Copies of this chain bind each other. A is one copy, B any other.
Amino acid sequence: MRIITNKNKLINSINIVQKAVPSKTTLPILEGILFKAESGKLVLTSTDLELGIETSIEADVIEAGSLVMASNTIGDIVRKLPDSEIEIVTKENFIVIKCEGSEFEILGLSIEEFPELPSIDRDNELTMPEPILKEMIRQTIFAVSNDEIRPILTGALLEVTEEKITMVALDGYRMAVKTSNILNNNRIKAVIPGKTLSELGKILNDTEGTVNIFISKNQILFHTGSTTITSRLLEGEFIDYKQLIPKEYKIKIKTKREDFFNACDRAALFARESNSNIRFEILDEIMNIRSNSEKGNVHEELKVMKEGEDLEIAFNPRFFIEALKVMDGKEIEVEFTTGVSPSIIRPVGDTDFLYLVLPVRRR
């Protein structure tokens, strides 16, 4: 193999495929990136056997071929090279990387050992703007469970109907549901691993572009620009999330999102120990937020608009803070029923996002 390409293009591609290179693995070949050059293109591939990423750049292909280089080594080298043309050429057992006055010789890894990415039937197609998918991921990913005891909850549900696309993540204590109104020809239900969504979210463009999604029984493929991300899907049935959402509420407050976020964030300073919580006391137009610890006590007073009775209720502060952080809009509303039933947070005037959170029994 012998190619010439540009430093900036190459480092961008390396940064993309490095997102699928595992940081720890018992299979050393997975620490490598496969470079394949043919017909004017250099294709980079990486995989951790669950998630696979492939991206291509234009290159002057003098001699077609393939090679595998350790991801860290080639990343470190290219990052430090000047913004100029880079030549990559195989030479006996070595790979030579040349750029202006620099010449690196590194040992390649075995091309034969590098696993092939799964091929995916491209029949169940779905198309949506990149920024919308990125936003759906951002507003749900934080609620994905880390607990391997219920593996299905370590992923988020992607549910597609004719009129809308919904993404749902829940961990047993809270749930985030984000909907987008996009017309489609398909009805799809798939549970995508949290890790896949997290890396996909970093690759997606936040202002423009289109992403094509193909789903087979066990696999999903995202295609955008010159990059393809494939991932296995999680097996099993996702929880029927709709039945978790209360149909009614008794008390509703409306307040400024940023003020509420800041008050919870400060109250959480003294609720850092596990099991500690912040207590809401809603009295007429005032919401008192309190927490106690060995270090001391916090009391935050927040103005709210209220419908319904007064209420006392306690929460894990992190569950409020993380949701308020990703919400859009200046105002939010919170619906309560009793001190022991789930509460719902939404941005005012936005029916596309819903967050459910369970209270904790007060100490």
Contacts and interface: CB of A to CB of B under 8 A. Distances in A.
Interface in A69-113: 70, 73, 76-77, 80-82, 94, 101-107
A301 interface: yes
Contacts of A82: 262
Contacts of A265: 80
Interface residues of A, number: 30
A101 B263 contact: yes
B80 A299 contact: no
A297 interface: yes
A339 to B, nearest CB: 23
Nearest to A301: B101
Contacts of A349: none
A252 interface: no
Greatest chain B CB density within 10 A among A76, A77, A296 is at A296
B266 A102 contact: yes
Contact of A103 (B76, B106, B269, B299): B299
Interface string A189-233: 000000000000000000000000000000000000000000000
A300 interface: yes
A295 interface: yes
Given A80-B269, A262-B82, A266-B80, A102 B300 contact: yes
30 contacts: A70-B295, A73-B295, A73-B296, A76-B269, A77-B266, A77-B269, A80-B262, A80-B265, A80-B266, A80-B269, A81-B266, A82-B262, A101-B302, A101-B303, A102-B266, A102-B299, A102-B301, A103-B298, A103-B299, A103-B300, A103-B301, A104-B266, A104-B297, A104-B298, A104-B299, A105-B298, A105-B299, A106-B295, A106-B297, A107-B296
Given A80-B262, A80-B265, A107-B295, 13 more contacts: A73-B295, A76-B269, A80-B269, A94-B296, A101-B301, A101-B302, A101-B303, A102-B263, A103-B298, A104-B297, A104-B298, A104-B299, A106-B297
Interface of A: 70, 73, 76-77, 80-82, 94, 101-107, 262-263, 265-266, 269-270, 295-303
